Amino acid sequence: MACSSGQPGAGPSLPVYTPQPTTVEATPTGAPTAAASASLAPFTPEGLSDPANSFTVTSLPEGLDADQQKVARAYVSYERALWLAARQVGADRSEVEATATGTRLEAVNGFLDKRQAEGKKADGMLSTKVVSVTVTPQSFAATVGVCADQRQMTVLDASGQDVTKDSTKHAFHVVYILEFSEGAWKVADKDYLEMDQC
């Protein structure tokens, strides 16, 4: 979910990795139909989606190993937490704070502070397709490439009026950078690559 201006579990010890970074590309697997917690649910689009809150994971890469799956789950947990927080003015941010760190957490808190001050909230539906997952063992870092589709998302003001900007309603190809922090993978930053090309 876009939240910057002008742009739209792991155990207590560090995971063991293979010596080289691994990347797996996604293939579409169909639309999800069931909700579940990203941390405990089956590693399927259906399992990681949350239909009750209009959050959909449309596809995941095939053939991910256990460490890559943990990273992908961490990204989905972050995206879902941000979506839920954005859907309510003054929403609890504990899930966001548990899934983000560093620059990304600062940016998200700034975004949510601004939305709260303006009385605005997100509505509609957010969907995301996980395109690739790369784990770099030497630095305990990882990236997740996604296509975040905001075309069915709207922004409502305090009176319930649709104030969605045209710049919001697009599909964004984004790469999220994750760090292994405090015993878990957390989103630390992100880079926008393309718009409506994924």
> Is 164 contained in some domain?
yes
> Is 13 contained in some domain?
no
Structure tokens at 113: 């502070």
More confident site: 57 or 25: 57
Structure tokens at 123: 């509505």
- The position carrying tokens 């742009």 is 7
- pLDDT of 37 above 90: no
The predicted structure's pLDDT at residue 44:
96
- pLDDT of 17 above 50: no
**Residue 38: band (very low, low, confident or very high) from pLDDT cuts 50, 70, 90:** low
The predicted structure's pLDDT at residue 16:
31
The predicted structure's pLDDT at residue 181:
87
The predicted structure's pLDDT at residue 1:
66
- Mean pLDDT, residues 100-106 taken together: 96
The predicted structure's pLDDT at residue 15:
34
Please report, for the domain that includes residue 74, its CATH number. Answer: 3.10.450.540
> Is 109 contained in some domain?
yes
> Is 5 contained in some domain?
no
More confident site: 20 or 76: 76
- The position carrying tokens 């990203």 is 38
The predicted structure's pLDDT at residue 11:
34
- Please provide the average confidence, as pLDDT, over all residues in the chain: 84
The pLDDT tens digits of the residues spanning 39-90 come to 578 999 999 999 999 999 999 999 999 999 999 999 999 999 999 999 999 8
> Is 146 contained in some domain?
yes
**Could you give the percent of the chain with pLDDT greater than 70?**
80
> Is 36 contained in some domain?
no
Angle CA(26)–CA(32)–CA(37) in degrees, nearest 5?
Answer: 95
- pLDDT of 10 above 50: no
> Is 92 contained in some domain?
yes
- Identify the domain containing residue 71 by its residue range: 22-29+43-195
- How many domains does the structure of the chain reveal? 1
**Could you give the percent of the chain with pLDDT greater than 90?**
74
> Is 17 contained in some domain?
no
